[in-house]
Structures are given as structure tokens and as C-alpha cells.
Amino acid sequence: MYVKSLPLCLLAASCLALPTQAEETATLQPAEGVGKNAFLQSCETWDEWDKTAPPFQIHGNTYYVGTCGISAILVTGDDGHILLDSGVEGAAPSVLENIRKLGFDPTDIGYILMSHEHFDHVAGHAAAVETTGARVVASARAKPVLESGIVASDDPQAQSNHPAMAPVKVDLVVSHGDPVTLGGITITAHATPGHTPGAFSWSWTSCDASAADQSCRDFAYVDSLSPVSADSYRFTDHPQTVAAFRQSIETVAALPCDKILTPHPSSSNMIKRLRSGEVGDGNQCKNYARAIERRLDARLEREAGNAE
């Protein structure tokens, strides 16, 4: 396993690093029943949030370890790993088991990151931390939600009766543009509020050393950004939220993006793209952002019509 040490480096560029010391361990091997074909045989385009799914390698050191309906992404390195999202509370054991099935030790996870602070994406954090000892990274706005387990009062879905989550301590608060670094892995935070006040998207580069050209891909794990809310909530009554939403859309449109991943796999048509073998043309984030923009505009138009 990797010995986690606590000192951090916070430089002018807001570098957050977790120094580690590798110990010799036996090499683990992937289990049977993993891979993209196994995932496609097990999961539907729209599927249950807690339905166990086979894990698979996406590209290089980036792996899908979530359920059929909710994403969890593992980025691996020689000095430890980073997990993005943990899913619903009941799915945490299967996420950790998926990591083992791929041949990795969950206790080598150094950081757990978040997309947005709703129970379907971060309720498994507490259980994951208990098993791995990893440090939790979040935005300043999401920190009190994760530490209390209660959705923020200004969240558009605050009145939707979201179930309380098991509280988890946030070890690191990062801001827009901050890189989270662990050994040779660097994942950059992008503030994308709108769906929730504290939402993040993330970007990194993953290379396949086994390929003849050692091909590298720019990844973006883009937050849901869907303009949904409690029935009583009107976005038009919250112009600052709408302005932040539009800024988030432009942030996503500008991300380097050979491969897009989203907290709900269905939001970015992951199964369809896996079946077609689509590599991506670098416009996936831009296309996603424009689709969200159309949804937001339609929502605002409906609200305006209802007010007349």
C-alpha cells in the first residue's frame, strides 16, 4: 500500500500535492468479468443508480468504477490514485469492489473529489473514506453540505426532500483553476455552479503507454448542469444563479475535451459512444454545453410563460 502523508504544497498556482512513499506490494491482477463489453451487456442507457456494473478501462490510467446509473471515475498512478465521486451510499461497496476487480487497492486512493453535492454522487464518500483513508476535496460552497449531510438552503432542489447523507470531513477546499496533484497525476478543478451552488467539473490528461503512439487524451468530467429544481423554485427569481449558470456553460464549452464523462452516464450518451467506438473530435464538451444552454433557455421561457 501507499503511506499517505499529510503535508501539502500550496503554491502561487494553488498546487495541492499529497506526497507519498511507495512500499513494495504484490502486483494485483484484474478479475474476470470486467471491461467495456461486460459493462455494455449489464447496463442500459438509463439505469438504476445503485445497480452494480462491471468496471472498465476508458483510456490509459482512467477507469470507470461506478454503477450502471451513476459514475465514479478512478485515475491511477504509481504514487496513489484519485477517485471522482462515490455514488449513492448503498453503492459505495460495489465502487470499492470494482477498484479491486481492476487490480487496484482502494487503500491507495489519496483523494476523493466531487462533481456536485447531491446524495446520488457523494453520499458514498463517508463509507469510501472509512475504507480507504483518503482525503476529501470539495468546493467552499459544498464543504458545509458534505460535513452536515444536508443540502444547502439556496440549492435549487433544496425543497425536493433529498435524503440526508452520512457526514464526511472535507480535508481540502479548492477553487476554480486549482490543480489537485498526487504523484504524476494532476486534475484541475473548474467551478461550474448552477445545478448546485458548489458544483465542480474536472479536467486531466490520460496517456496509454501500451499503445504504439502512447496516445494521450484530454478528459473532462463535466457536472450535470441540468436546470432542474424543486417544483416551487423559479430560476427567473434568482438572476445571480442564472448568471453563474451561464458562466458555467461557457467554462465547460472551453474545456480541453477529447473524452467527456458526466456524473450520470446517460447525460453524455456514454453507452452509445462505447458501442460506436467513438474516439471524439475535441468538441464533446462544447456540444454538451450548448445542449445545456438550450435546456436552460427553454426552462426560463417556460417560467416566463407561466408568469403571464
pLDDT reported for residue 306: 73
Residue 48 lies in a domain: yes
Our measurement of the distance from residue 55's CA atom to the centroid of its chain's CA atoms, rounded to an integer in Å, reads 15
In this structure, is the dihedral angle defined by the CA atoms of residues 188, 28, 209 and 64, taken in order, positive or negative?
Answer: negative
pLDDT reported for residue 32: 65
Q: In whole angstroms, give the CA distance from residue 189 to residue 174.
A: 7
User: Taking 60 as the threshold, does the pLDDT of residue 12 lie above it?
Assistant: no
Q: What is the pLDDT of residues 138-158, one digit of tens each?
A: 999 999 999 999 999 999 999
Residue 146 contacts residue 125 (beta carbons within 8 Å): yes
Name the pTM for this structure.
0.89
Which residues, including other chains, have CB under 8 Å from residue 107's CB and lie 6 or more apart? 1, 2, 131, 132, 133
Burial status of residue 239 (CB atoms within 10 A of its CB: 0-12, 13-18, 19 or more) = exposed
Q: In whole angstroms, how far apart are CA 231 and each of 32, 158, 293? A: 45, 10, 20
Band (pLDDT 50/70/90 cuts) for residue 23 is very low
> How do 16-17 and 81-84 pair as beta strands?
unpaired
Band (pLDDT 50/70/90 cuts) for residue 214 is low
User: Taking 70 as the threshold, does the pLDDT of residue 11 lie above it?
Assistant: no
pLDDT reported for residue 204: 98
User: Percent of the chain scored above 90 by pLDDT?
Assistant: 81
Residue 223, domain extent: 29-307
**Which ranges of the chain would DSSP assign to H, the alpha helix?**
36-42, 92-101, 119-122, 125-132, 143-148, 239-253, 270-276, 284-307
Residue 114 lies in a domain: yes
Q: What is the pLDDT of residues 117-139, one digit of tens each?
A: 999 999 999 999 999 999 999 99
Closest residue by Cα to residue 33 from 63, 62, 58, 53: 53
Mean pLDDT of 160-180: 96
Band (pLDDT 50/70/90 cuts) for residue 5 is very low
Cell 432542489 sits at which residue? Answer: 157
Residue 11 lies in a domain: no
Output b/e per residue, 14-34; b: 16+ Cβ within 10 A. Answer: bebbbbbeeeeeeeeeeeeeb
Band (pLDDT 50/70/90 cuts) for residue 236 is very high
Helix axis angle, 284-307 to 239-253, nearest 10°:
160
Amino acid (one-letter) located at 269: N
pLDDT reported for residue 7: 38
In this structure, is the dihedral angle defined by the CA atoms of residues 166, 174, 183 and 253, taken in order, positive or negative?
Answer: positive
Mean pLDDT of 10-25: 39
Mean pLDDT of 20-35: 54
Residue 57 lies in a domain: yes
Residue 23 lies in a domain: no
Closest residue by Cα to residue 223 from 259, 257, 260: 260
Band (pLDDT 50/70/90 cuts) for residue 161 is confident
pLDDT reported for residue 277: 77
Question: How many domains are there within the chain?
Answer: 1
Give bridge partners of residue 261 from the DSSP assignment.
221
Mean pLDDT of 29-53: 88
Domain containing residue 173: CATH number? 3.60.15.10
Q: What is the pLDDT of residues 267-291, one digit of tens each?
A: 999 999 899 876 567 899 999 999 9
Residue 7 lies in a domain: no
Q: What is the pLDDT of residues 28-40, one digit of tens each?
A: 556 667 999 999 9
Residue 185 lies in a domain: yes
pLDDT reported for residue 276: 86
Q: In whole angstroms, how far apart are CA 216 and each of 8, 62, 98, 258, 270? A: 28, 11, 24, 9, 19
Band (pLDDT 50/70/90 cuts) for residue 10 is very low
Q: In whole angstroms, give the CA distance from residue 194 to residue 67.
A: 25
Closest residue by Cα to residue 17 from 187, 175, 138: 187
Band (pLDDT 50/70/90 cuts) for residue 21 is very low
pLDDT reported for residue 22: 38
pLDDT reported for residue 211: 67
Residue 287 contacts residue 258 (beta carbons within 8 Å): no
pLDDT reported for residue 14: 42
Residue 6 lies in a domain: no
